[in-house]
Structure formats: C-alpha cells, structure tokens
Amino acid sequence: MPQETGYDPDLGNKFVFVTGGVMSGLGKGITAASLGRLLTNAGFDVTAVKVDPYLNVDAGTMNPYQHGEVYVLKDGGEVDLDLGNYERFLDVDMTSDHNVTTGKVYQEVIERERAGDYLGKTVQVIPHVTDDIKRRIREAAEGTDVCIVEIGGTVGDIEGMPYLEALRQFSHEQDEEDLLFTHVTLVPNSKNGEQKTKPTQHSVKELRSIGLQPDILVGRNPEKLADDVREKIALFCDVPTEAVFSNPDVEDIYHVPLVLEDEGLDEYVMERLAIAEDALPAAERSTEWRDIVTRDATGEVDVALVGKYALEDAYISIHESLKHAGLEKQVDVNVQWVDADEMGDEHEERLRTADGVVVPGGFGARGTAGKLDAVRYAREHDVPFLGLCLGFQLAVVEHARNVLGLEGAHSAEIDQDTPHPVIDLLPEQYDLEDLGGTMRLGAHVTEIDEGTLAERVYGATECTERHRHRYEVNPEYIERLTADDLTFSGHAGNRMEIVEREDHPFFLGTQFHPEFRSRPSRASPPFVGFLDAVMERADVAAGTEVTQ
C-alpha cells in the first residue's frame, strides 16, 4: 500500500459512508446527521466528514444561491452548510479538516509534486489523489468511535468519481465490519400515488458498476415505504429487506432522528459495525434530544428577517437559532421573510406587524437601503432588534445618519466615497491579493462591559463567538458615535464587537455570528435574549425554561 495514505490498521475507527442518488437535495446530510445523533445517544463518540466535490478550496467565495449559507467553524474554516447541521445534531465543534474538497485535495497533490515528494513518479488520480482523500478522512476520524462520511452530489457525477473510487479502496483496506455503505435515494410517487422503485434500482446499479455495493438503503418519500416496496427494493438491489429504511417527510428536521430510531436504523448500524455490545442499554440512552424537540409550545411570535437572498438556506443558521431559542422558551417562532431589495407593500406590512426584527450578515451594496430602513423602524418604534455582522454595522450607520446627523455616513465597503466612513476596512485587510480565506475568521474572545444589556444576555463579562468580516467600526468615529444613547458594550482590543442602545427596550448588534454556535440543547444567548424581549412585546408567556 502506498505510504502516503497514512493508514494504520490498528486505529479501530468505524466508518459509515453516505452517498446519494437520483437527485441532489434529498436530505442525505440530515439523514447522516440524524444517524450520528442516535449513535451519540447510544454512548459513542461520533464525528462527521463532509466531502464536497467542487474545485473550490472552500465555500468562502461562493454565492449563497449556489450552496446556501457559508458556515464558519471555530478554526475559521468556511464550509458547506451541512457542517452546521452536523455541529447542531452532534453538539460538537468541528474543524476545517472535517470538510474535504476537490480544491484542497488537488492543491495538496500538486504542491507535493512540485516539491518532488513523489520521487519522479507520474502523478495520477489513482493512487495519488485517492490516497490523499483517504488520508484526510482517516485523520479527521482519529480519536473517535464512528466517523460518518457524506459524499456530496449524486452517484454518477463526474466530479465525485475519485471519491467513490477512494471508498471502494477503503473496502479492500479495512475489515468488513469496520465499514458501512449507506445510500439515500428517491422513491417517487406516480400520478396514482404508487411508490416507484425504478429510480432507486438505477441508482444502485450505477453504484455497483464502480464496485460499491450498498449495505443500507434509505428511501426518501413523503410517506413511509410500503412493505412490498421495501421487499422489491431489497430484491432488485441485493440487500436484506431489513436493510431498507424509510425516511419520510416530517414537520421539523429535528424529528428525523426520532423517525429513524423508530425505524431501527441505529440498531441495525450498530449490529453491522459490531459495536452493539458496546452501546449503552436502551434504558440508559440519552433522551434529551427527544425531550427537547417534542416540547409543546405555549404560544407563538412573528419575527421579521430582513435580507436580500430569498432562499431559506442562505440564512439557515439564523432560522435554526431562532428555533433553538423557541425550544428553550416553548414558543413557536414564525419567521417572516422581508426582502430588503424589494420593499413593497407586502414586505413592509410584514415588518410593521412583526414582534421583532433581525437584520443578518451579508456583503455588497444590494439590499442595504432596505436593511437601513428596517433598523430605523425598529429603533424608532421600540421593536426588539438583533443585528448580525452587517446588521451590526448598519445599525451604526443608521445611528450616524439619523441620530447624529452625519449626512452620507456609510460603510466604506458599500460607498467608497462616503464623507463619513463610520465602517472601514480592517487594517490587516489592505493590499491583500487573495480573497479566499483572508477575512477575520473563526472564534475570537469578546470582553463585555459590566452592567450592560450584553452582560445580562450572556450572564458573563466575556464570550467567544465566530467571526467572518473584513470591515469594522472606524475607531476615528467611536467618540462621536457614543455621544447619544449608543454604546459599544463588547470589545476585542480596540475593535468594537457589540453595540446596544440605552434608549430602547432591546437593541443589540454583534460584529460576530452567534448563530454558528447555537444548538437545540444550548440556544445562543443573543437569540434567547432577543426572544425574551419579543415575547414581552407580544405578551406571550414563556414555558418552563431549560436548565442549562
């Protein structure tokens, strides 16, 4: 075996490889994350790897319309939103090593070739690219019991072929009981409602043509698979009937682990990986997830999310953070989309009737006028406000313009000719040649002033949150900005991190992204504080709070 794989047969890791067929967007990431949640409940240390076959080194330069939001990890990695689902479902902090992209792999292989590491060999996809893929997966799995590896895209995509070949090689390098191949595929309905198996059959045929035989099939259909359909899939795809599982549509993605548990997927996986005897007895397994996600709500509130991307995945972590706060307070949070770029009557009505306003992050000039209007509306009408990253910066711009009277004040990112650049480029960002991975990224500590709203929200005088920005509050304007009811209550050295208003019931902006650390069992403090204010304004009683 080539030395560069780094393979150690004594590592003892178990791997579950998850592929998808027929079409993208089936939910294989949620399926994989849900399985990870169930294995965690059973007492195992679980991690995950997301493979993205695109040539980008990371997701940092992608438009959210392409792949949804760019999720930021604690080490500053800019990754696919599926990593966010893994962190939320598994309640772990992942690193850039848990996201494998074709850009990373080829960059590494080419750099090694230029350095002469291959000793004159012809560098090829097999073995050099596939060896690097296997190395990355194994290194990410080190120190854990089970590693779930999701292969992005669908079987048959040309971009994904090296990864599927790497998985085929895995099956030759490790014991059979160390690996489990799970295939998530579409089982569509015909016009008369019949569940059709042919797309699944063709998808599995494609897999088998490259040397991969799935051990488990998960069928995506609005309803559970009928028994005869499961038997037909098993017969034509050469798996036991008990290895065919349903993953029907559910009201909330957090209910998927409950459905798969009822299906018995976790027990089957543990048996196949020969770890069932090491699992906690059923009576001792954690029920925290089930208890949290099945709580009954005692009321509901409406929150306006003012952004420029009419795509929920572009703001998925914010949606989930609002949901987490709602789970803690036992309140349903109805997110009302307000298009910052098309502030027509319908969207203005949503803003006016909302119980709270959230202005998210973003880049570029489009939609900033609408976001500024939303900030002003929330400030002038005492509506609870939460601004995140760009939302924080625009709260500063709105104050400079409409409270201090600094005409034309703006962010230098949006208006380079502004006479009052109250938001300006970070000093270390000048003269950068590359845009990828060069922002202020990842987890940084913020010191919080005592006696402030921020201290009450966090219950502490410091917090550690994740960042993703090139611009900051201009230090030359801080004295003027804080002269009239606006306070910077959080700092990182001379950088302003949290803004709040003394003349408002709840007005909070953060330069960082607290949504990236929120979990169903550990809601983000700014979102919980915001929801408290929203509920008070809407006169909605809170349910029993979760003991943290």
pLDDT at 431: 78
pLDDT digits (tens, 9 = 90+) for 426-436: 988 887 777 78
Q: What pLDDT, on the 0 to 100 scale, is given for residue 503?
A: 93
CA separation for the pair 360, 73 (Å, rounded):
18
Q: How many residues does the chain have?
A: 548
Catalytic residues: 389, 513, 515
Distances (CA, A) of 128 to 1, 2, 6, 96, 158: 12, 9, 12, 21, 18
User: Which segments in the chain show pLDDT lower than 70?
Assistant: 1-12, 541-548
Binding residues: 24-30, 65, 82, 150, 157-159, 196-201, 232, 250, 362, 390-393, 413, 470
| Feature table: binding site for L-glutamine | 65, 362, 390-393, 413, 470
Strands 71-72 and 78-79: what pairing?
antiparallel
Binding residues for UTP: 24, 196-201, 232
| Complete domains list, the chain, with CATH | 13-291 (3.40.50.300), 300-538 (3.40.50.880)
Q: Which residues are annotated as a binding site for Mg(2+)?
A: 82, 150
Residue 543, pLDDT score: 61
What was the pLDDT predicted at 542?
Answer: 65
542, 329 contact by CB (below 8 A): yes
Q: Verify cis geometry, omega within 30 degrees of 0, for the bond prior to 281.
A: no
Binding residues for ATP: 25-30, 82, 250
Contact of 301 with 499, CB cutoff 8 Å: no
Contacts for 446 with CB less than 8 Å, ≥ 6 apart = 462, 463, 464, 465, 490, 491, 492, 497, 498, 512
CB atoms within 10 A of CB 66: 12
Residue 12: its pLDDT value, please?
Answer: 59
SS3 of 243, please? Answer: helix
Q: How far is the C-alpha of 425 from the C-alpha of 474, rounded, in Å?
A: 8
Per-residue model confidence (pLDDT) at position 5: 41
Nearest to 304 by CA among 320, 325, 327, 322: 322
pLDDT of residue 7: 41
Given a contact cutoff of 8 angstroms between Cβ atoms, the answer to whether 308 and 366 are in contact is yes
Instruction: Give the per-residue pLDDT at 428.
Output: 81
pTM above 0.75, yes or no: yes
